[in-house]
Amino acid sequence: MFLKPDWTSPAGVHALSTTRQGGVSTGVYASLNLADHVGDDPSAVRHNRALLRKQARLPAEPSWLNQIHGCAVYESGRQSPAVREADASVAFGPGAVCAVMTADCLPVLLCDERGTVVAAAHAGWRGLAAGVIEATVRRMGRPATELRAWLGPAIGPAHFEVGDEVRACFCTTDAEARAAFHRNAAGRWLADLPLLARQRLRRLGITAVSGGDLCTFADRDRFFSYRRDGTTGRMASLIWID
C-alpha cells in the first residue's frame, strides 16, 4: 500500500507514497485511487482516503490540492482550504499533512534537516519548467544546504515521449537540460523527469537527493499511469511532522 523514501529523515518527519493497491475502487481505478476528479465513484474515493488516513496514522486530513501544472504553493494549516489551487504545499510544524497526487508526473518531497518544515511538490514537465521546485524551496525559507529531497514514482525516461516544444521549454534557457533528452527510433524525444528535477535541485544547492528510480508506466501492478492507460486513478505522496 505504501512506499517509504530511502532517506534518513529527521525525528518527527514522516513521508510516504501510496501505490494503487489496498483500496476499494474497481475497474480502471482499482484499487486505491485517491483522486475525486477522475470519474471514480465518490464514495469509493472517500473510503480510500479514510483507509489512507487510518493505515498511515495521519495526524490530519491531507491538504488535497487542485493541481493545475503551475508553481503556486499552498501553506497547509495557515491558508484557507478555499485557496487550494496549487501544485505544491508546505507545512511549518506539526498538525498538517502536505500531499500531491500523481499518475506519471514526478512527486518531490522535501524537509529540512532539523525537521521544522516539510513540503510536497507536483513536478510534471510543465510544473518543472514553470519553476515549481524553486517556488517550493523559496516558500520553505531554509538554506538549501539544510534541505533533503526525495523523488517519488514517475514515468521513466524509457517511456516519457515528448515533442520538440517540450525540449525547447528546458533547453533554450538551460544547456545542461539537454542531457535529459534523447531521440528514440520514431524521431521523438524521450525525457528524463527525475534528471531534470535533480538538475534544478542541485542548482539551488540541494545535494541530499534520493529516489527517482520507480517508473509508473512500466509497473502496471503497483502504479497508475495516465500515459499508459488514459482514464485511471491517482497515487498520493505525503509528508508531515508529528
Is 2 among the domain residues?
no
**How many whole angstroms separate alpha carbon 227 and alpha carbon 216?**
9
Residue 165 maps to which CATH number?
3.60.140.10
Segment 49-94, tens digit of pLDDT? 999 999 999 999 999 999 999 999 999 988 777 668 999 999 999 9
Query: Can you give the pLDDT at residue 48?
Result: 98
In this structure, is the dihedral angle defined by the CA atoms of residues 88, 54, 20 and 46, taken in order, positive or negative?
A: negative
Is 4 among the domain residues?
no
Is 58 among the domain residues?
yes
Residue 220 has what DSSP assignment? T
Is 5 among the domain residues?
no
pLDDT along the chain (242 residues), means of 10: 93 97 98 98 98 97 96 88 88 96 98 98 98 98 97 98 97 96 96 98 98 98 98 98 95
Query: Can you give the pLDDT at residue 41?
Result: 98
Is 191 among the domain residues?
yes
pTM of the model: 0.97
Question: Residue 222 is placed in which grid cell?
Answer: 503497483
Is 110 among the domain residues?
yes
Is 6 among the domain residues?
no
Structural domain boundaries, residue 169: 13-241
Is 7 among the domain residues?
no
Number of domains in the chain: 1
Segment 89-109, tens digit of pLDDT? 999 999 999 999 999 999 999
Residue 11 has what DSSP assignment? T
Query: Can you give the pLDDT at residue 239?
Result: 98
